[in-house]
């Protein structure tokens, strides 16, 4: 029988749990709730909230009358928050405090001459929000190779005044490689390590567990950036599959594996992990 090991860091992180509880508490109060985009990147939670009447809007202007709009854990663009306040829309800001911290760093820039270099995914809502708080030019890179190409193509110059930070779910190892390169090139640079501590701990455990396992099962939403990072870390060390739930598990012989490791993204409910563990006989 296979040994089944579940990572200790699996399950909701602080920011995600706070956002989900915010919506649940509003519903308990009898309020009508809508969220600015998906509250978290997990289809099971989204579907459950939809059953309870929670609507998803893509813009604050779409907020139905008598509804409270909740800003998700990823945050939102500065213009959306300003629109909400200007139009006296009832809202609750469930932006993760770690993301809020990055907004303040970006907003503190008062010089158009400065350039923001941000590590992460340019299409992710967290990154889109971060960039909206910076008044100068900003560029996003996803790896040391991307950053090097920006420098070689003269997108950014060694003479530029640089502010460098990252998405909260960025790879710690990749971040170190990128900051090492930046410190060699730029003479006027301020580096802010904005990777969430929980993200770092989860990535470290993924690295360790995958090195001692024959198979790794990463559980999380396909849109989840931090889940994708866990998958990328694990697949370097062991056979790895990424699933959203027990129903998505591939039809293979799991008994052939001596040790199966399970780790979940920050927006994955722990009960989904427990169902997979039970299915495997753990």
Task: Measure the CA–CA gap between 39 and 216, rounded to whole angstroms.
Answer: 27
| Token code pair at residue 170 | 């960025």
Active site residue: 126, 174, 205, 244, which one? 126
3-state DSSP percent of the chain in helix, strand and coil, to 5: 45, 20, 40
Is 107 a known active-site residue? Answer: no
Q: Closest Cα partner for 261 from 22, 28, 2, 1?
A: 2
Containing 64, the helix (H) or strand (E) segment is none
Tokens 């990463």 found at: 218
Beta carbons within 8 Å of 122's beta carbon, 6+ residues apart: 128, 140
* CB-facing half-sphere around the CA of 103: CA atoms within 13 A: 19
- Identify which of 101, 122, 98 has the alpha carbon closest to the alpha carbon of residue 14: 98
Enzyme catalytic residues: 126
């Amino acid at each position: 029988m296979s040994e089944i090991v579940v990572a200790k860091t699996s399950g909701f992180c602080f920011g995600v749990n706070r956002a989900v509880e915010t919506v649940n508490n509003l519903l308990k109060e009898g309020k009508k709730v809508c969220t600015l985009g998906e509250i978290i990147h997990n289809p099971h939670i989204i579907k459950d909230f939809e059953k309870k009447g929670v609507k998803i809007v893509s813009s604050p202007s779409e907020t139905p009358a008598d509804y409270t709009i909740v800003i998700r854990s990823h945050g939102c663009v500065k213009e959306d928050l300003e629109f909400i306040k200007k139009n006296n829309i009832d809202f609750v800001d469930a932006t993760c405090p770690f993301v809020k911290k990055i907004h303040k760093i970006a907003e503190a820039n008062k010089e158009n001459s400065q350039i923001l270099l941000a590590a992460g995914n340019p299409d992710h809502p967290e990154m889109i929000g971060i960039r909206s708080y910076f008044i100068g030019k900003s560029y996003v890179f996803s790896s040391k190779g991307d950053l090097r190409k920006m420098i070689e193509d003269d997108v950014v110059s060694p003479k530029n005044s640089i502010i460098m930070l990252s998405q909260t779910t960025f790879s710690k190892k990749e971040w170190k490689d990128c900051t090492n390169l930046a410190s060699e090139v730029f003479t006027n640079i301020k580096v802010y390590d904005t990777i969430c501590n929980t993200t770092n701990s989860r990535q470290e455990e993924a690295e360790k567990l995958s090195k001692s396992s024959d198979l790794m099962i990463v559980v999380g939403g396909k849109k989840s950036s931090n889940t994708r990072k866990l998958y990328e870390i694990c697949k370097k060390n062991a056979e790895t599959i990424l699933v959203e739930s027990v129903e998505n598990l591939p039809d293979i012989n799991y008994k052939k594996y001596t040790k199966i490791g399970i780790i979940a993204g920050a927006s994955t409910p722990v009960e989904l992990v427990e169902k997979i563990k039970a299915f495997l006989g753990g």
